[in-house]
Amino acid sequence: MVPEELRDLVARCLSKDRLLRPTLEEIAGTFGLLNPSVRPWPDAVHARIDEQQATIVRLLGLDGAEGQLVASDTGTVVLARRTANQDLSTITAPQVPAGPAPLLPTPGAADSPADEGVDEDSAARRRPSRRTLLFGALGAGAVAATAVPLALMRTSGSPEAGGSETLPPPTSSPSTSPPVTASPSTSSSPTATPTPSSTPEELAYRASFKWKTMLSALDYSPDGKLLAVGDFDSVLMLWNSTDLVVAATLGNSYLPGIENLTSAVRFSPDGTLLASVDNFATITLWDVASRQKAATIQGDKDQKSAGFSNLAFSPDGKTLAYSGNRVITLWDVQSRSLVATLVNPIENPTYKAEGDVASMAFAQDGRTIIASTDLDRDDLLRFWDVRRGTLTATIEHAGDGVIALAVSPDGKVLATVSRGEVKVWDVATRAMVETLPFTSDPVCALAFSPDGGSLAAAEQTGGVRIWSTATWNPIRGLDQAKSLDPTLSMMPDSLVFSPDSKVLVGNFGYRLARWKVG
């Protein structure tokens, strides 16, 4: 029998809806605060901690002279690196908030999402995830220098304060030719380009609470009220854009032991449909008004377990494109029928990732798809004729790591990211007209504002920069997201502007970050 005072709590813990289950803090609050203790758990749990410590030391290749796992006075275990002959008693563990220690993970369960799937053509070889492809160069030494939590815990968050990065004063355009600028689309009202300043104003900033698994996909609804958010447990949610609170959960195909995630999400131009795709190349169309499934489309078998996945609606909303691995499939939205299948050519079949589509977007005319292609670090931009299903042009040596691209609202400008910079291209001539230096780290996401006046990009560790499309000079520097979780590289997957161009949102690890920029 369950005691009367615990029945409500137990019932909530057993709810099928994950969002209705109480957080660890809520459960702890039911019983009151626990007294701090170096060994707050039973002996069996501490035996498990010792096993985990030994496993981490072995995986990171640490020995007694290089590093130790040290327990703080609150029972929190951290990894600390020490110099030769340094007394471990001098190492100070990070302080943690007062309250109950986090629960240890279930045996065999992963603390963080793994690769997004298994390559069906080779059972012994996993396809690298988007994050693995981007940041595989980070070695164990970099990890060992920071605190490593042994358990992940969902926590409540609140708006966090943060400063703006100091930018260099605007300079003249580096190009000798007249700059190509992005003009507003006809569907939105243009706004004046923000006035550059050597000391940028403090911008309103908010970070969401910490979600349970890493966020993998993001898009803004055309009416500006909702954010579609996907995570590494294949959950698809609608968040309120104003307070960054979950408003509804549309779907969750999570199955224990099966790797899956929401790879991409995209609203239709009229806002009536939301498309999502998982790691098994299953595309779901959702009716936004009723929040019910409208249709399910199965992508090509060669699109499964993709390192990069992208969804894009044509400007008129009649065609949906999905890219996974080397294949782009195009679907008629109304009939749900396959219109065309585009397959990237490759030169070296022994390298499976060669030719994979990293990013993709429709040109403004709706007849052309522009895709960036990973070709063993010799990245390409390819232009496809949608109606004919043919490759019409290729730009070679487009950059180092072209994993994201965006087309301006008027269709005249193409922006691509690369390691340490953003490149700007004239769509008509396919000539590069600007290079915008940003950072020494990989740049992971970018977006044009709907009014055409700004271009934003985010880099690996969470820094964001915004340029004026009139001059291509930097006008904003945003670094608040860097502090969201110091133990993780932020690895942003998406940046999206609100329809009125006044708000910028990005997903950074386990949180969303929102800035008012207009």
What are the sequence ranges of the domains in the chain? 1-32, 35-104, 205-516
> Mean pLDDT, to the nearest integer, of 464-492?
88
pLDDT, tens digit (0-9, with 9 covering 90-100), for 78-104: 333 333 344 433 333 333 333 333 333
DSSP per-residue codes, 365-408 = TSSEEEEEEESTT--EEEEEETTTTEEEEEE-S--S----EEE-
Dist. CA 224–CA 518, nearest whole Å: 14
User: Above pLDDT 90, what percent of the chain?
Assistant: 45
User: What's the pLDDT at 50?
Assistant: 77
> Mean pLDDT, to the nearest integer, of 459-482?
93
Q: Does residue 399 register a pLDDT over 70?
A: yes
Q: Closest Cα partner for 414 from 402, 405, 403?
A: 405
Q: Closest Cα partner for 17 from 196, 264, 202, 254?
A: 254
Q: Does residue 472 register a pLDDT over 70?
A: yes
pLDDT band at 16 (very low <50, low <70, confident <90, very high): low
User: What's the pLDDT at 188?
Assistant: 37
Dist. CA 119–CA 322, nearest whole Å: 18
> Mean pLDDT, to the nearest integer, of 434-441?
89
pLDDT band at 263 (very low <50, low <70, confident <90, very high): very high
Q: Closest Cα partner for 263 from 239, 281, 249?
A: 281
Report whether CATH 3.40.50.720 matches the domain 205-516. Answer: no
pLDDT band at 164 (very low <50, low <70, confident <90, very high): very low
User: What's the pLDDT at 22?
Assistant: 78
Q: Which helix (H) or strand (E) element contains residue 310?
A: strand 309-313
Residue 213 has phi, psi (to 5 degrees) of: -130, 165
> Mean pLDDT, to the nearest integer, of 348-356?
60
Within 8 A by CB and 6+ apart from 276, the residues are 217, 228, 230, 236, 250, 251, 262, 264, 265, 266, 283, 284, 286, 311
Q: Is 71 helix (H, G, I), strand (E, B) or coil?
A: strand
First to last CA, the chain: 58
Extract the runs of DSSP E, i.e. beta strands, from 181-272: 205-207, 215-220, 226-231, 235-240, 246-252, 262-267
Higher confidence at residue 20 or residue 238? 238
Identify whether the C-beta of residue 462 lies closer than 8 Å to the C-beta of residue 174: no
Dist. CA 149–CA 170, nearest whole Å: 41
Q: Please report how many Cα atoms fall inside a 13 Å half-sphere around the Cα of residue 389, on the Cβ side.
A: 11
> Mean pLDDT, to the nearest integer, of 207-214?
91
User: Distances in Å between the alpha carbon of 1 and those of 4, 7, 14?
Assistant: 9, 10, 16
Q: Does residue 192 register a pLDDT over 70?
A: no
- The mean-pLDDT minimum among 44-58, 206-220, 314-328 falls in 44-58
> Mean pLDDT, to the nearest integer, of 380-386?
93
Q: Closest Cα partner for 164 from 193, 194, 198, 200?
A: 200
Q: Does residue 414 register a pLDDT over 90?
A: yes
Higher confidence at residue 122 or residue 183? 183
DSSP per-residue codes, 461-490 = TS-EEEEETTT--EEEEE-GGGGS-TTS--
- The mean-pLDDT minimum among 357-366, 376-385, 485-494 falls in 485-494
Identify whether the C-beta of residue 205 lies closer than 8 Å to the C-beta of residue 514: yes
If one counts every other C-beta atom within 10 angstroms of the C-beta of residue 58, the result is: 9
Q: pTM of the prediction? A: 0.66
Q: Does residue 129 register a pLDDT over 90?
A: no
Dist. CA 452–CA 408, nearest whole Å: 6
Give the mean pLDDT of the chain: 74
Higher confidence at residue 476 or residue 52? 476
Q: Closest Cα partner for 233 from 222, 246, 249, 248?
A: 249
Q: Please report how many Cα atoms fall inside a 13 Å half-sphere around the Cα of residue 144, on the Cβ side.
A: 19
pLDDT band at 184 (very low <50, low <70, confident <90, very high): low
pLDDT band at 282 (very low <50, low <70, confident <90, very high): very high
Identify whether the C-beta of residue 240 lies closer than 8 Å to the C-beta of residue 247: yes
User: What's the pLDDT at 112?
Assistant: 35
Residue 130 has phi, psi (to 5 degrees) of: -55, -45
13-21 LR contacts (CB < 8 Å, sep 24+) = 17/249, 18/212, 18/235, 18/249, 18/252, 19/246, 19/249
Q: Report the sign of the C-alpha dihedral through residues 362, 363, 368, 373, in that order.
A: negative
User: What's the pLDDT at 267?
Assistant: 98
If you compute the radius of gyration of the chain from its CA atoms, what whole number of angstroms results? Answer: 24
Q: Does residue 475 register a pLDDT over 60?
A: yes
Q: Does residue 446 register a pLDDT over 50?
A: yes
> Mean pLDDT, to the nearest integer, of 363-368?
93
Q: Is 363 helix (H, G, I), strand (E, B) or coil?
A: coil
- The mean-pLDDT minimum among 127-141, 173-187, 431-445, 456-470 falls in 127-141
- The mean-pLDDT minimum among 2-11, 102-111, 333-342 falls in 102-111
pLDDT band at 45 (very low <50, low <70, confident <90, very high): confident
> Mean pLDDT, to the nearest integer, of 295-320?
94
Alpha helices in 14-157 (DSSP H): 24-31, 43-60, 130-135, 140-144
Dist. CA 493–CA 436, nearest whole Å: 20
Q: Does residue 32 register a pLDDT over 90?
A: no
Identify whether the C-beta of residue 15 lies closer than 8 Å to the C-beta of residue 23: no
